[in-house]
Structure 1
């Protein structure tokens, strides 16, 4: 499993990186907020470990960026900042764990392992198999291709969930408009573009179409 570690203190970065690698994790490190955002945009991660007070842009801004990309991976804040405002901001932005510096490496191990267990332990009741090697986790609301998370927008996830709710049935563009966009204006071409984007991120037969009938998910 792959972890992004944002830490500008070199000694902390090296010690945490080496420790987690010895536990079997793959670690990708960043020393400033912009570097972290660039890596989040280009790669898939199972966990983000973010310091807050880092060069360029803060860990909080990195969290905002990740959430805007619809990142579904858990986020752990690892920082010496302890005032209630910083802690509150972190949780409001969607962090899942808060680790105060300095810490014992055994505590880091426990918290990382617990997040991985909580978010990635297999429970077949929550997994829907879709076209080829894709899985949809109804709890985490994410698509995986093997172990890789597919980055999808919230609208794309909503569209997939709607089609999954009608397994075996075709849904017309009007059905999709009504259920997903409700009263908001979108034309047929806009719907087709969202479906095309999902196919580009997954596979051509992830969503099946039939002229005059509409679309259905390939379960």
Structure 2
């Protein structure tokens, strides 16, 4: 399970992160809204824990962008704002819960566990229709063709996932490297080999390429 944590108070952030790690969650933590929003679009998370008043785009703006993109990941606001108008705005934009500062780590633990449990209990993996008759399940990362699951490596699954999240938009090799290899140093040839393997399992037309620009999956 992976959680995005946005909190510009360093001490709060570190306390929350330490708790989440002790519970077995992976945590990507950020101090600014702009970095958090970029991460939300390029990774798959089970929960977004967001402070509202942060540098860059604020928590409200992040939820608005995430929901407009169609992402259903649960969102919990961590905030000292208690005015009913602020609470109403958050729920209208699509947040799932609020935790008011100051709070106990025990309360945070229960709210995080409940949000993730409810999300996975009720969610159905959305399916995206892709070229050549393929279907990709967003949450599970499963690629199917005529009801048959296509065996994929982790890197192949992550590359397809990135391209599906950005349909009909060329992704450059640096973006693919950052997403699929999590920033590790790999050469362009390694990326090309993964693309080649995906095409061998699908079709040559499944992933389009443009020299010097990148790769994309076109809209069906």
1:82-105 superposed Cα distances (whole Å, 9 cap, x missing partner) = 001110010000001111011000
The Cα shift of 1:145 comes to: 1.4
Gaps of 5+ in 2: 143-156, 166-197, 204-220
CA distance in 1, matches of 2:97, 2:139: 23
CA distance in 2, matches of 1:132, 1:20: 37
Question: Considering only CA atoms, is the larger Rg found in Structure 1 or Structure 2?
Answer: 1
- Using structure 1 for the length normalisation, give the TM-score: 0.59
CA distance in 2, matches of 1:36, 1:204: 33
CA RMSD of superposed structures (Å): 3.6
1:98–1:128 distance in 2 versus 1, CA, 3 Å: closer
| Residue 17 in structure 1 maps to residue 17 in structure 2 | yes
Secondary structure of the 2:72 match is coil
Secondary structure of the 1:3 match is strand
CA distance in 1, matches of 2:122, 2:89: 31
1:128–1:106 distance in 2 versus 1, CA, 3 Å: same
| Residue 69 in structure 1 maps to residue 65 in structure 2 | no
Q: Following TM superposition, where does structure 1 have runs of at least 4 consecutive aligned residues deviating by more than 4 angstroms?
A: 126-135, 150-153
Q: How many residues end up aligned between the 2 structures?
A: 152
- Is the contact made by 2:126 and 2:139 (CA closer than 8 Å) also made in structure 1? no
The Cα shift of 1:26 comes to: 0.3
1:11-160 map, 5 Å: 11-121=11-121, 143-145=139-141
Secondary structure of the 1:28 match is strand
CA distance in 1, matches of 2:127, 2:49: 30
1:115-169 superposed Cα distances (whole Å, 9 cap, x missing partner) = 111111499xx6799999965xxxxxx6421698x5878xxxxxxxxxxxxxxxx
The Cα shift of 1:69 comes to: 2.1
1:204–1:68 distance in 2 versus 1, CA, 3 Å: farther
- Using structure 2 for the length normalisation, give the TM-score: 0.59
1:119–1:132 distance in 2 versus 1, CA, 3 Å: farther
CA distance in 2, matches of 1:10, 1:83: 24
The Cα shift of 1:68 comes to: 2.3
The Cα shift of 1:40 comes to: 1.2
1:31–1:129 distance in 2 versus 1, CA, 3 Å: closer
CA distance in 1, matches of 2:202, 2:89: 40
Secondary structure of the 2:106 match is helix
1:71–1:25 distance in 2 versus 1, CA, 3 Å: same
- Is the contact made by 1:133 and 1:145 (CA closer than 8 Å) also made in structure 2? no
